[in-house]
Amino acid sequence: MSQISLEELQLAARNHALPLEALRFDITPIGLHYLLVHYDIPDIDLDAWTLEVDGLVECPLSLSLDDLRARPAVEVTMTMECAGNGRSYVEPHVVSQPWLYEAVGTATWRGVAVGGLLDEAGVRDGAIEALFVGLDRGVEGGEEQAYARSLPVEELLASDAVLAYEINGVPLPPQHGHPLRLVVPGWYGMTSVKWLERIELRAEPFDGYQMRHSYRVRMDEDEPGEPITTIAPRSLMVPPGIPEFSTRERVLEPGRCELSGRAWSGAAEIVAVEVSTDGGASWAHAELGEDRLGRWAWRSWSFSWDAEPGEHELCCRARDATGAEQPLRPPWNVGGYKNNAVQRVRVIVR
Amino acid sequence: MSQISLEELQLAARNHALPLEALRFDITPIGLHYLLVHYDIPDIDLDAWTLEVDGLVECPLSLSLDDLRARPAVEVTMTMECAGNGRSYVEPHVVSQPWLYEAVGTATWRGVAVGGLLDEAGVRDGAIEALFVGLDRGVEGGEEQAYARSLPVEELLASDAVLAYEINGVPLPPQHGHPLRLVVPGWYGMTSVKWLERIELRAEPFDGYQMRHSYRVRMDEDEPGEPITTIAPRSLMVPPGIPEFSTRERVLEPGRCELSGRAWSGAAEIVAVEVSTDGGASWAHAELGEDRLGRWAWRSWSFSWDAEPGEHELCCRARDATGAEQPLRPPWNVGGYKNNAVQRVRVIVR
């Protein structure tokens, strides 16, 4: 990895990663779930706040938080990951939020089903996209903007998307989008717009900065590239043993060591996790845990390792039902997106 | 600032900073309070956990969380700051957790008064220090250790120190020391040992790594240096306007702009905050807010600025009742501790 600049460090300080040992929790405790805030956490007057649903609808809606809470509630437990996770490992270096492996978390979100609310508003013929607009404002790529992303109506209605006002049983904290955010299971986190102000049904695709410029896989600045959608397969392990403070290298005793971790994919269910204890030269199957958390959340895995004295590089890789598997080396693209290369954990057994 | 390495970035990803806009909250929401975890967040079996109080006491104690909750509860609202806050701005560069300005937060902690518990155990003559030992283990400076710090008994009994099992009205989350941590008002955060396992009353000063090597102000590696104790005065402002994503530079409209922020000091109360809108060339007094949160928490301040078009560097500095004031330039020492130099915020008014 190249060294990183003060500007990137400023982003890393604001945008919190999951400490890897927190992979042991089925549901990530609040304060450990990853967090990406493009601009500032907005200061919202809840008494004045409403969600507007407008554009190509039969009946525009303007709803307070109490209005939303009065509607039938649904819950979804899902693993959310940033599309830029792994960016610090791509070469050549890409300047943006410098994630390592840990831009992930799993939470139970409670709120109103997006499908139900759109039914209530009545989506008119010709509406092809729903645009979600947040209250967070900033300048990016030279454009002043509110953070906003759109989704095809068809995909949105086929999804388990929720307008969430609670996380893990408590009202959304400010950093997770209070009072209301979108969560879209299986998609990278950029889709789950926080601090929602408005949903607009549109006849034309939305061409804002976060659709046109950000969150596209392109091999050079001038090509339009492919939009980023669902989460590619990834697995992570709880680093075994104890850490060295500065290097985060792991130290452990020889003998039986139960490795464990999580694996997830947005496109399809996880079908296999493999572990390597020799830096990826050879692989063996890990055992997948029970599917307790449902389709949209990570799956636990475990692997019993007979740790012999010496230095080892532990790796894990996941494969989903489409056959997609984590690569051994980081893929590159202009934005440093979707680097789901295998995790490498250096361990000293002594 | 020098560029930072992958190893420092690993620390920055784990150890969360307060996003500066969160200075607007009197009490920092969970998930936004700063967090420093030397090793890993330990995995604790609450059914098996007890706090041991032993060493030079009349009556050693072994207490479950229920035992502690059955005792009279106290609360303290306090601002906690890492002794390494500001480290990234010192020159020459110091390699450790690369904090910028934001290793701070304010919380209300609830638990058992340390003084009361030591009375119950009966501190014996000759006990000069209380050692607090955590359950987090790692390797640092070549030494395998549990995180442990001591305090003089006299200072501890004179303080409002609490053995806390709640933060902001909820049980401690794992990252804040569940099930029990020490909090010592006015002292830098290294003193507030998390994941407590044991309190030992001692006849001799504790000479562990975190006392002897870390958390001392020394000008060269070979001198013993001075131990770090109470928090030096600091003020921070909520950056005005909106941010540019990559640089975090602020953009705002010309006209009246209400600047606001917080100021705190461990040694004595804050008596003045000054603001400069020209990079520290001239200063004017800010207005201190009501002292609503008590002696151990930050004080709000505000300053009305007539923002004219152009580029500006905004600064703030605090002074406490001892006369101590924030320096304009970062002080240096081997560990990069206690850099309370004034915050500088670049603003473009357009």
In a domain, A1, yes or no: no
| Touching B: A residues 51-90, CB under 8 Å | 88
Task: Annotate A151-208 with DSSP letters as a single string.
Answer: EEHHHHHHTT-EEEEEETTEEPPGGGTTT-EEE-TTB-GGGS-SSEEEEEEESS----
Residue (of B189, B182, B186) closest to B295 by Cα position: B186
Return the residue matching tokens 């494969």. A319
In a domain, B57, yes or no: yes
Tell me what pLDDT residue B297 has: 98
Contact call for residues B238 and B250 (beta carbons, < 8 A)? no
Contact call for residues A219 and A334 (beta carbons, < 8 A)? yes
| A contact test, residue of B91, B93, B139 with most A CBs within 10 A | B139
Tell me what pLDDT residue B90 has: 97
pLDDT digits (tens, 9 = 90+) for B187-211: 999 999 999 999 999 999 999 999 9
Q: Number of structural domains, chain B?
A: 2
User: Is A195 in the B-facing interface, judged by CB distances under 8 Å?
Assistant: no
**Quick one: closest CA in B to A178, which residue?**
B29
The partner residue sitting opposite A175, judged by closest CB among B31, B144, B239, is: B31
> Are B48 and B116 members of one domain?
yes
pLDDT digits (tens, 9 = 90+) for B311-347: 999 999 999 999 999 999 999 999 999 999 999 999 9
Length of chain B in residues, anyone? 350
Task: Output the pTM of the full model.
Answer: 0.97
In a domain, A138, yes or no: yes
User: Is A16 in the B-facing interface, judged by CB distances under 8 Å?
Assistant: yes
Burial class (CB in 10 A: 0-12, 13-18, 19+), A65: middle
Report which residue type is found at B307: A
> Are B47 and B169 members of one domain?
yes
> Are A189 and A92 members of one domain?
yes
The answer, yes or no, to whether residue B240 has pLDDT greater than 70, is: yes
Q: Which residues of A touch B98 (CB under 8 A)?
A: 9
CA distances from residue A222 to A225, A269, A330 in whole angstroms, order as listed: 9, 35, 22
In a domain, A316, yes or no: yes
Q: Which residues of B touch A349 (CB under 8 A)?
A: none
The answer, yes or no, to whether residue B1 has pLDDT greater than 90, is: no
User: Is B168 in the A-facing interface, judged by CB distances under 8 Å?
Assistant: no
User: Is B176 in the A-facing interface, judged by CB distances under 8 Å?
Assistant: yes
Contact call for residues B116 and B187 (beta carbons, < 8 A)? no
In a domain, B242, yes or no: yes
> Are B246 and B319 members of one domain?
yes
CB contact under 8 A, B243 and A139: yes
Q: Kindly give, in sequence order, each residue whose CB lies less than 8 Å from that of residue B16, ignoring residues fewer than 6 positions away.
A: A16, A31, B34, B35
Q: Where are the beta strands (DSSP E) in B82-195?
A: 104-113, 129-140, 143-152, 162-167, 170-171, 181-183
pLDDT digits (tens, 9 = 90+) for A252-270: 999 999 999 999 999 999 9
Last residue of a domain, one of A205, A227, A249: A227
Q: Which domain holds residue B167?
A: 6-227
Please state the rounded mean pLDDT for residues B34-63. Answer: 98
Characterize the bridge pairing of strands A343-349 and A250-252: parallel
In a domain, A118, yes or no: yes
A–B interface: beta-carbon pairs under 8 A: 160
CB contact under 8 A, A4 and B4: yes
Last residue of a domain, one of A227, A252, A283: A227
Q: Which residues of A touch B246 (CB under 8 A)?
A: 7, 11, 95-96, 140
Task: Compute φ and ψ for A329, nearest 5 degrees.
Answer: -120, 145
The CATH number linked to B294 is 2.60.40.650
CB contact under 8 A, A139 and B244: yes
Residue B337 three-state SS:
coil
Contact call for residues B144 and B138 (beta carbons, < 8 A)? yes
CB contact under 8 A, B242 and A144: yes
> Are A49 and A120 members of one domain?
yes
Q: Which residues of B touch A19 (CB under 8 A)?
A: 14, 37, 40-41, 175
Min Cα separation B77/chain A (Å)? 19
Token output for B329: 């330039």
pLDDT digits (tens, 9 = 90+) for A74-110: 999 999 999 999 999 999 999 999 999 999 999 999 9
Residue A136 three-state SS:
strand
> Are A114 and A179 members of one domain?
yes
Residue A1 binned pLDDT confidence (cut-offs 50, 70, 90) = low
The CATH number linked to B196 is 3.90.420.10
> Are A145 and A69 members of one domain?
yes
Token output for A41: 């956490």
CB contact under 8 A, A140 and B244: yes
Q: Considering chain A, what is the average pLDDT of its residues?
A: 97
Return the residue matching tokens 């549901």. A27
Contact call for residues B197 and B145 (beta carbons, < 8 A)? no
The answer, yes or no, to whether residue A209 has pLDDT greater than 80, is: yes
pLDDT digits (tens, 9 = 90+) for A229-256: 999 999 999 999 999 999 999 999 999 9
Q: Which residues of B touch A5 (CB under 8 A)?
A: 3
CA distances from residue B15 to A79, B12, B38, B153, B174 in whole angstroms, order as listed: 21, 5, 9, 30, 14
The answer, yes or no, to whether residue B2 has pLDDT greater than 90, is: no
User: Is B169 in the A-facing interface, judged by CB distances under 8 Å?
Assistant: no
What gap in Å lies between CA A9 and CA B54, rounded to an integer? 43
Contact call for residues B171 and B184 (beta carbons, < 8 A)? no
CB contact under 8 A, A100 and B9: yes
The partner residue sitting opposite B31, judged by closest CB among A5, A30, A138, is: A30
Tell me what pLDDT residue B134 has: 98
Min Cα separation A25/chain B (Å)? 10
The partner residue sitting opposite A4, judged by closest CB among B9, B11, B39, is: B9
In a domain, A30, yes or no: yes
In a domain, B1, yes or no: no
Share of chain B above pLDDT 90, in %: 99
> Are A76 and A170 members of one domain?
yes
What gap in Å lies between CA B279 and CA B155, rounded to an integer? 39
What gap in Å lies between CA A61 and CA A57, rounded to an integer? 9
Characterize the bridge pairing of strands A196-202 and A51-55: parallel
Min Cα separation A347/chain B (Å)? 13
Min Cα separation B282/chain A (Å)? 27
The partner residue sitting opposite A16, judged by closest CB among B16, B24, B244, is: B16
The partner residue sitting opposite B41, judged by closest CB among A19, A35, A99, is: A19
CB contact under 8 A, B39 and A102: no
> Are B29 and B95 members of one domain?
yes
Last residue of a domain, one of A167, A196, A227: A227
Residue B66 three-state SS:
helix
> Are B217 and B252 members of one domain?
no
Q: For residue B222, how many other CB atoms are within 10 A of its CB? A: 8
Q: For residue A152, how many other CB atoms are within 10 A of its CB? A: 13
User: Is B45 in the A-facing interface, judged by CB distances under 8 Å?
Assistant: no
User: Is B255 in the A-facing interface, judged by CB distances under 8 Å?
Assistant: no
> Are A122 and A263 members of one domain?
no
Token output for A47: 């008494």
**Quick one: closest CA in B to A35, which residue?**
B31
> Are A171 and A307 members of one domain?
no
Q: Which residues of B touch A237 (CB under 8 A)?
A: none
| B contact test, residue of A3, A10, A20 with most B CBs within 10 A | A10
| A contact test, residue of B6, B94, B258 with most A CBs within 10 A | B6
**Quick one: closest CA in B to A42, which residue?**
B21
